[in-house]
Structure 1
Amino acid sequence: MFSNAASPASDTLPEELSKLGIAIPDQALQRIIEAVTLAITPRVSSSVERQIEARVRAEITAEVTSSVTAEVSAKLQASFDARVKAAVQEQLLALYEEIRLQRHRMFGRRTETSAAQLGLFNEAEVLAQGTTAADDQVVLPPASEKPTPKAQGQQARGKRKPLPAELPRVDVLHELPEDQRLCACGTPMVVIGQEVSEQLDIVPMQVRVLRHIRIRYGCPDKAQLPALAPRPLKVLPKSNASAGLLAMLITVKYVDGLPLARFEHVMARSGVSLPRQTQARWIIEVSQALQPLVNLARDHLLACPVIHMDETRMQVLKEPDRAASALSYMWVHIGGPPGKRVVLFDYETSRSAEVPERLLAGYKGYLMTDGYPGYNQVGSDKHITHLACWAHARRGFVEAKQATPGKASKADEVLRLIAKLYRVEKDHKNATEQVRLHARQTESKALLEAIRQWLDTNLPIVVPSLKLGQAIAYLDKHWPRLVRYIERGDLPIDNNPVENAIRPFVVGRKAWLFADTP
């Protein structure tokens, strides 16, 4: 029945299967050939042969399945191991970058911060380094003095400059003693001139009491009732605090970041008891009295062609239906030309997209923000053109550079190009809008094209989870909003004005930590 002689097909079949990429063991292949031979041989209706046929088929199926399964399993396991190894290496590299970045933040040189942001306790020692007694002059140009143009590369020599002309002057006369006004020849000396020098002086805070005396007039003949001078207007009618005291209280708390408890001690040094509870009540009442002014400021802000917007966290302990640990937010928006800025702080319990939509209802103009997605909805309004901040885009590459060992990295390339963008803005800071627009359309546009080319080259090859990959993804995602500022000469390149407005609030928050009530 079964022939042991090899058929012609059995000699060429392994080669044909090999060409197809199918690898089957020789023993299993022989079984397959026998099964095919059996299939084309006339069947014998013998139960024994049917049993043999079934057994052979089962053995062949088991051997082929086992061989194929083992080969596929080996390939899948190898692929899985390679992917796991790559993922682990990527995660380790990301953690290594994060460790380097955190160490740099704690112990590295803070080149991105202002030199004026020094430690509170060693400020005097740090500022005094490298100075001499000859430098102990207040260098403030007077309001009317125009800077003298200097040759390129010429350094200022610390020449003593007069103090501001608008400051009040108090003359202190210094006379020679009478016995020194007699000449050696016996003739009394006469005044032939004088020498004037100036010192900057300050009068410490003076606490005083304003006595409002209202004169009453009456007719000697008592023909009418007496007349009394009207009572002066007060910000808080039932309080004995003057407008000057209330203004100072609000300034030291919200501009200087001084907690009410410390201002209580300041007043105590002048012999005045001013409990912080009283100060808090005054601040609340003043805020209510100033609400019409806030409304006018909001109307002026919404009329500005460009609005900067950002938000910062705040913790309020006693708020209805909220835990004491829940975070609230101060939404800050600023508009107007330099020197005439309108800055508004709005307290909200949420950071959702509904807040900027409500605060900017009816606004038509340009909106500058960072990359927070909560602004996307309001930025998609047909009356609002959304701008993105180059300072935030740059910050990601700075962190990538700090997290990368070595002196040179890919981040340095794009950082140099961004620095040139800011150089164009600095060179044309005081130029007209037309001149600035021309510079942006020529110089800045070419730089943006170079940045885009760099971005397209590195976007496919940089690991997305690393700091550089995150910075590149941020730049690519917000690219249309980032390049929009060159369309006009009056549009800002970044959101720094609103961040500068937030800094005093952040300083105060570090001092008072939280608010008791909204």
Structure 2
Amino acid sequence: MLTQADLPDDIDALRALVLEQSRVLAEERAASEVRLAELNVAKGEADAEIERLQSIIKAFMRHRFGSRSEQLDADQLQLGLEDVETALGHARAAREAVAPRSRSDQPRKTNRGSLPAHLERIEQIVDIDDKACPCCRGLLHQIGEDVAERLDVVPTTFRVLVTRRPRYGCRSCEGAIVQAPAPARIVEGGIPTEALIAQVLVSKYADHVPLYRQAQIYARQDIRLDRSTLADWVGRAAWYLRPLRDRTLEELRRSERLFADETTAPVLDPGRGRTKTGQLWAYARDDRPWGGAGPPMVAYVYAADRKAERPDIHLGDFAGILQVDGYGGYTALAKRRGQQLSLAFCWSHVRRKFYDLAASSPVATEILRRIAMLYAIEDEVRGSTAEHRRLERSERSRIIIEDLKLYFDGRLRQISAKSKLAEAIRYATGRWAGLVRFIDDGRIELDTNTVERSIRPLALNRNYAKRRIMRRCQRRGQLLH
């Protein structure tokens, strides 16, 4: 701040000083207005972000405490979690840009992922330029090093595989021409290699990327492929892979125990412009929980309907334990095969019946608590031998099962036979022999989650296919039934 002593006596100098001060004040005012505008923009962005995160939190609350009709499905829940975690990452980056983390700071607890040993390691050395001591200029020697590993990726790179087949002729015999035969191809005369076709299949069926989106991805590198061309590749690959599927199914039929499940699949009904419902059946084996020697595998079979004879045809001469949900077709199958086939049912399906009622029923809550005790024992014995699992179950799980059966019978006499709770109890007691079979056989799991995990990708692809078919029918101006 200027004092009276700082003011010049000369009028011109005084005028120049006033003008300079006015200019400085104007610049400061303009800078303040810019900062205020930036703060307002930042405040608006912050308010929008807060509102977005609050809506996500409300959705989570509905998923946790709302009625079933309002709850999110698993995929929507994962998307919401991704949004929240992305916002947290943005906030952490902003904080670290202002105040970088020091070595003494505790690292945040998070799963950063593991780096498998089989991945190629590309080493880079970040070293000092001058290896002379900054104090005495003597030669420095290495006393250690810090090593950090980061996960890197080489983006998908297309390349052209050029195959040359020289032709040879004989100077003496003009008609003799010798040439190596052309390698076999999935698409004769076509451009894809087997690796490219495998990539298309994995993207479509494992990563749920429709063919038209794959065509768009290829187009970004100026590779023009029609969706119909990709579909032709998929169809040809399916023909070549069918013997492998049949061989897998044949191997599964020789197993001691299998899981089975089925899900719907919308397929076009030619000539009608609408869909019909087909069925995709999954048959899986996973003996790792009890130390079995058979490798895990799964086979999928399409059928036009859900008739009870379908699994009978698919399973062929299978004899052993079939672990399934409550679909009546499996019960009919077991009756037809008699001693050859034993059914084991799924406690996860039983649990779901009571989970829907737990919010309003103390009885359902108590049943869930007892089922949770069974799962706690299973967590302890998973991975041990079948005999050890049998002994532990016989000693610890049997009494829980026997008490639960008494609890079921007692509650059925006290509640209305038409209630949802009675219906859930009858679902369990009507399948009791198959539900308790796991106690005396260490090879049996408590539920069918193994095959449900295997069939989940089919359900995701089904949803994508249904939306695509709906759009196709809408474009034709027809109603999708």
Pick closer, same or farther for the CA change 1:374–1:277 going to 2, 3 Å.
same
Q: Is the 8 A contact 2:287 2:443 kept in 1?
A: no
Pick closer, same or farther for the CA change 1:125–1:515 going to 2, 3 Å.
closer
Deviations 1:218-264 (A, max 9, x none): 55666983433332232333322111111111111111111111111
Deviations 1:354-389 (A, max 9, x none): 211211232111111111112221121211111111
**Which of these residues, 348, 351, 355, is aligned with residue 303 of structure 2?**
348
**Which of these residues, 102, 116, 122, is aligned with residue 170 of structure 1?**
122
Pick closer, same or farther for the CA change 1:192–1:495 going to 2, 3 Å.
closer
Return the offset for 1:466: 2.3
SS of the residue corresponding to residue 424 of structure 1 reads helix
Q: Is the 8 A contact 2:286 2:450 kept in 1?
A: no
Pick closer, same or farther for the CA change 1:483–1:240 going to 2, 3 Å.
same
SS of the residue corresponding to residue 513 of structure 1 reads helix
Confirm whether residue 484 of structure 1 aligns to residue 437 of structure 2: yes
Distance 1:251 1:301 in 2: 23
SS of the residue corresponding to residue 263 of structure 2 reads strand
Q: Is the 8 A contact 1:433 1:489 kept in 2?
A: yes
Pick closer, same or farther for the CA change 1:348–1:208 going to 2, 3 Å.
same
Structure 1 unaligned blocks of 5 or more: 1-99, 137-155
**Which of these residues, 401, 412, 434, is aligned with residue 358 of structure 2?**
401
| TM-score between both structures, scaled by the size of structure 2 | 0.72
Pick closer, same or farther for the CA change 1:218–1:177 going to 2, 3 Å.
farther
Q: Is the 8 A contact 1:401 1:412 kept in 2?
A: yes
Q: Is the 8 A contact 1:257 1:509 kept in 2?
A: no
Q: Is the 8 A contact 1:485 1:493 kept in 2?
A: yes
Return the offset for 1:175: 3.5
Distance 2:442 2:392 in 1: 9
Higher helix share: 2
Q: Which residue matches 1:120?
A: 79
Q: Equivalent pairs: percent with the same residue?
A: 30
Return the offset for 1:436: 0.4
Return the offset for 1:182: 6.9
Distance 1:310 1:323 in 2: 29
Confirm whether residue 298 of structure 1 aligns to residue 249 of structure 2: yes
Deviations 1:285-335 (A, max 9, x none): 111111211111111010111111111111112347x78243211111112
Confirm whether residue 506 of structure 1 aligns to residue 459 of structure 2: yes
Q: Which residue matches 1:104?
A: 67
Pick closer, same or farther for the CA change 1:464–1:515 going to 2, 3 Å.
farther
Return the offset for 1:491: 1.1
Q: Is the 8 A contact 1:256 1:508 kept in 2?
A: no
Q: Is the 8 A contact 1:329 1:348 kept in 2?
A: yes
**Which of these residues, 222, 232, 236, is aligned with residue 285 of structure 1?**
236
Return the offset for 1:461: 1.8
Q: Is the 8 A contact 1:301 1:336 kept in 2?
A: no
Q: Which residue matches 1:447?
A: 400
Distance 1:277 1:413 in 2: 55
Confirm whether residue 462 of structure 1 aligns to residue 415 of structure 2: yes
Structure 2 unaligned blocks of 5 or more: 1-62, 97-107, 289-293, 473-481
Pick closer, same or farther for the CA change 1:478–1:167 going to 2, 3 Å.
same
Q: Which residue matches 1:474?
A: 427
Confirm whether residue 435 of structure 1 aligns to residue 388 of structure 2: yes
Bigger CA radius of gyration: 1
Give the letter aligned to residue 395 of structure 1.
R
Q: Which residue matches 1:391?
A: 348
Deviations 1:171-213 (A, max 9, x none): 22324335x7574544565666543321111111111111112
Of the structure 1 ranges 218-227 and 232-241, higher mean CA displacement relative to structure 2 is found in: 218-227
Q: Which residue matches 1:365?
A: 320
Distance 1:193 1:443 in 2: 54
Higher relative contact order (CA closer than 8 Å, sequence separation 6+): 1
Give the letter aligned to residue 451 of structure 2.
V
SS of the residue corresponding to residue 401 of structure 2 reads helix
Pick closer, same or farther for the CA change 1:128–1:390 going to 2, 3 Å.
farther
Q: Which residue matches 2:27?
A: none
Q: Is the 8 A contact 1:315 1:324 kept in 2?
A: no
Q: Is the 8 A contact 2:266 2:462 kept in 1?
A: no
Return the offset for 1:467: 2.1
